[in-house]
Amino acid sequence: MPQVSFAADIKPLFRDIDISHMKSFGVELDDYAYMSNPDNANSVLATVSPHSGEPPSMPPGGPYWTAAQLALFVQWQEEGYQP
């Protein structure tokens, strides 16, 4: 299986509304340069992950990412942020 890629696998996890809403907060979900910065990727992952029994903070009210989607994002990080 090819490595997880931002263009093919990660960017499609974000809806148009996610991308457009977050741009006004300086969070560039569709921008490889932004997302491949580990600090930014970890911040994004934290917002879409459940925390101690609480639902994720993003997207507000859901739909929340599935365990498979979260795992895919982590795999992308572990494989070195392939474009």
Residue 62 makes contact with ligand HEM by CB under 6 A: no
Task: Give me the residues paired with residue 51 across strands.
Answer: 54
Among residues 13, 42, 45, which one has the least CA distance to residue 30? 13
Residue 41 makes contact with ligand HEM by CB under 6 A: no
User: For ligand HEM, which is the closer residue by CB, 60 or 80?
Assistant: 60
- Dihedral-angle region of residue 17 (phi above 0 means left; psi in -120 to 50 means alpha; beta otherwise): alpha
Site residues for ligand HEM, 10-39, by CB under 6 A, read 14, 17-18, 21-22, 25, 27, 29
Which residue type is seen at 36?
S
User: For ligand HEM, which is the closer residue by CB, 14 or 76?
Assistant: 14
